[in-house]
Amino acid sequence: MKRRIAYLGPPGTFTEEALNKYIEKNGINEQEIERLSCATTEEVIKKVDRGETDEGLVPIENSLEGSVNITLDILAFESDAKIIREITIPIKHSLIGKEKAALEEIKKIVSHPHATAQCRNFINTHFKNAEIIAANSTAEAIKMLDKEDSGVAAIGTEIAAHVYKMHVIKKDIEDNKDNKTRFVFIGNSIQPRTGSDKTSMVCFLKQDRPGSLFGILKEFAERNINLTRLESRPAKKNLGDYVFMIDLDGHIHDPEIFDAIETLRKTAYMVKILGAYPKWVEINQEI
């Protein structure tokens, strides 16, 4: 039976590029995978919740834009799915056209607002007077070129240019060459310990009071547990109520981490584990 993986589509998105990298790096036979392109992050995660797919793949954090709030909110407040794996890929933008047009011929640029923001210097240098048109995704922007003339270009991925049979006019037009996005695979289980793991969790407080955050941090600091991400998100209740999203080095089944979380459960309203999973190793790019 094929392994079904839902991902944030349409085909040609950076999410599909991350899926391609995962398949390639792990030597997985493409024939063993059934890809399900979804229009929204919510649809991806809900398919996992309903058992309609084995796994889902969605973006969760960008090195320039920060956290992808929709992913965090659904995992924290609406879903029982768990993060089972992560992968980080560099974000490389290309200028893509229906034909191989010269830069001076381009009068309109269409893309997702994040992509145009990440290529601001390139756009300001070459297309000061060009009309910028927003699309729901970079892949959708490239797909739209089929109905446009050569004076319209899109910003997106090389893979999308290949999928929709368009031409790459110029590669690597992003302003920041270190731009990366972290994606997470979603499943329905806590993964076994590997010795190089990460745990993601959300801490709901009983009430907002002085020292609440210190009380959380203290439990980890006293046990020498390293937090790799900490941020607050609205609790979706009263104005001013927040929850704390935490990523930490180690696995929930490590004794010191398990002890810290069990201690937190005694004072917090709820501690929800979003996943315990293998850490993405940047050095050798292995999962």
Q: How far apart are CA 163 and CA 161, in angstroms?
A: 6
- The CATH code belonging to domain 94-170 is 3.40.190.10
Ranges of CATH 3.40.190.10 domains, the chain = 3-90+182-187, 94-170
Predicted confidence band of residue 238 (pLDDT cuts 50, 70, 90): low
Task: Give the pLDDT confidence of 47-82 residue by residue, as tens digits.
Answer: 999 999 999 999 999 888 888 999 999 999 999 999
| Contacts with 206 (C-beta within 8 Å, 6 or more apart), sequence order | 267, 268, 269
pTM: 0.87
Amino acid at 24: E
Cβ pair 241, 264 in contact under 8 A: no
At the topology level, CATH places domain 197-278 in Alpha-Beta Plaits (3.30.70)
Mean predicted confidence (pLDDT) in 210-224: 88
Every domain range in the chain assigned CATH 3.30.70.260: 197-278
- pLDDT confidence tier of residue 285, bands split at 50, 70 and 90: very low
pLDDT tens-digit series, residues 166-189: 999 999 999 998 999 999 999 999
Q: 76-130: per-residue pLDDT in tens?
A: 999 999 999 999 999 999 999 998 888 989 999 999 988 999 999 999 999 988 9
CATH number of 3-90+182-187: 3.40.190.10
Buried b (16+ CB within 10 A) or exposed e, 182-203: bbbbbbeebbeeeeebbbbbbb
Structure token pair of residue 186: 């979603």
